[in-house]
């Protein structure tokens, strides 16, 4: 699958007088939850979802315990975790007691192997949708027109269809789901939205069984 990026302006430095330059930034399809990762891992391995969920919880607890005890932690294929500290500024270490030193943050440094493997990722520039001001009814009409010609719609496709931001596309698609117009389905890569099937109406034709009694 192709990753999408867009060019964004660097924050200008005050009174620098330099031209505003751009930098590339990933446009995420979505945020993948732990449950989703476990579901995908379970479907492609012999481990059950319960086994994987327990393993993740155990690793998280051990990571917290080791960091709290003053260790650095290396998760193979992921990276290194360490703790940073903070205190008030002093000129002599004797001015500071241990009680005045506190936890600040957890630092993460990606491992070299993961960086190396990500260098081969496929990238495509994000196509900015033309800004539009469609009414809610017109957006729904355009959505249904699209779904008459396609099996499903993605967030990015909806952005281009109705000329809105990624945030608004997700919000409006979720509302269409809540209104019973769409159904949401999760794949391994992204969420897709399809038209909710029409309910099957029960037949009005009643078939009466003949009542034949013995001797008639």
Domains of the chain plus CATH, in order, are 30-118 (4.10.520.10), 127-195 (1.10.10.10)
The string of pLDDT tens digits covering residues 161-212 is 888 887 788 889 999 999 999 999 876 556 889 998 877 666 555 555 555 4
Per-residue confidence (pLDDT) for residue 61, from 0 to 100:
97
Alpha-helical segments (H) within 93-165: 112-118, 136-149, 155-162
Average pLDDT over residues 145-172: 87
User: Rounded to 10 degrees, what is the CA torsion of 19, 20, 22, 25?
Assistant: 150
Residue 118 has pLDDT above 80, yes or no: yes
Q: Name the region of 186 (left: φ>0; alpha: ψ -120 to 50; beta: rest).
A: beta
Task: Phi first, then psi: give them for residue 32, nearest 5 degrees.
Answer: -85, 125
Rounded to whole angstroms, the Cα distance separating 43 from 79 reads 25
Residue length of the chain: 216
Per-residue confidence (pLDDT) for residue 92, from 0 to 100:
79
The string of pLDDT tens digits covering residues 61-112 is 999 999 999 999 999 999 999 999 988 887 778 777 777 888 999 999 999 9
Q: Is the pTM of the predicted complex or chain greater than 0.75?
A: no
């Amino acid at each position: 699958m192709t990753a999408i990026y867009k060019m964004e302006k660097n924050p200008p430095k005050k009174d620098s007088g330099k031209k505003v330059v751009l930098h590339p930034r990933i446009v995420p399809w979505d945020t993948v939850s732990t449950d989703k990762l476990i579901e995908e891992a379970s479907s492609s391995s012999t481990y059950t979802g319960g086994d994987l969920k327990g393993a993740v919880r155990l690793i998280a607890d051990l990571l917290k315990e080791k960091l709290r005890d003053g260790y650095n932690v290396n998760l193979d294929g992921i990276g290194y975790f360490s703790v940073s500290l903070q205190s008030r500024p002093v000129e002599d270490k004797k001015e500071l007691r241990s009680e005045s030193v506190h936890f600040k943050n957890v630092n993460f440094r990606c491992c070299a192997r993961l960086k190396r493997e990500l260098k081969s990722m496929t990238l495509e520039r994000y196509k900015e949708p033309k800004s539009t001001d469609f009414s809610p009814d017109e957006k729904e009409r355009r959505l249904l027109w699209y779904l008459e010609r396609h099996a499903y719609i993605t967030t990015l496709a909806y952005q281009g269809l109705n000329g809105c931001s990624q945030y608004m596309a997700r919000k409006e698609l979720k509302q269409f789901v809540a209104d019973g117009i769409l159904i949401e389905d999760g794949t391994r890569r992204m969420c897709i939205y399809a038209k909710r099937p029409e309910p099957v109406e029960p037949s009005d034709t009643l078939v009466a069984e003949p009542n034949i009694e013995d001797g008639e």
